[in-house]
Structure 1
């Protein structure tokens, strides 16, 4: 059996001659933290928004999603999400040519964001308006 050299510095505990001496206790050691139960319970999972109605309008490049968490815009592959607590108001209307849905979010600090989704066929725009109004009314009732 060959004897291996001791590990180099940084491996394992320090040799006894270099270890600090434990402090002498005349009574019980001091309690630095309250005693923990033998098995800690797992923290509760993060709160998920309650399930509710949602709205989705999508075309080849853009999308608008309204759900329990807030409003999301996707424009050419980039997504911006607005949570309900940071939204002052949401506005929507038809584009001037009547071929697209324009949705705007006004942030609490006054910033304004807009997303335009083409409605194909054009009659889809008339389907989106009542759906969007109902979903927004669910999460942001007027009153």
Structure 2
């Protein structure tokens, strides 16, 4: 079965490109620097605790929980019973608390973490 040929088409010319709408030029705003202030970070192979100007972040086995300072009632920390880990709890305004344990290797690192954590928490949450 043969098909009849297509009828001849008029020549297609290439005229000027279509007019594109004129949008105002994009103006990038400079990135706002993060608020200055001390930071604390304790990390082991599974968990971490970070404290900075925005609040406290806990990461446990890849699951992260962020707490902004306005929603934090208090932060508590101590050494684990065996003296090898930092145990930290964030108490939310509604009374719920969230805990994270970060192993300190070598054990001397725990003393460094306590000194750093005390200074950073004292900066953001002064007593009195």
Match of 1:84 in 2: 69
Equivalent residues, number:
104
Match of 1:60 in 2: 45
What is the Cα deviation at residue 50 of structure 1? Answer: 1.4
Match of 2:121 in 1: 136
Rounded to whole Å, the distance in 2 between the matches of 1:51 and 1:102 is 26
What is the Cα deviation at residue 51 of structure 1? Answer: 1.6
TM-score (norm 2): 0.75
RMSD: 1.9
What is the Cα deviation at residue 46 of structure 1? Answer: 9.5
Equivalent of residue 74 in structure 1, options 35, 39, 59: 59
Runs of 4+ in 1 over 4 A off after TM superposition: 44-49
TM-score (norm 1): 0.67
Match of 1:9 in 2: none
Task: Indicate yes or no: 2:105 matched with 1:120.
Answer: yes
User: SS of the counterpart of 1:132?
Assistant: helix
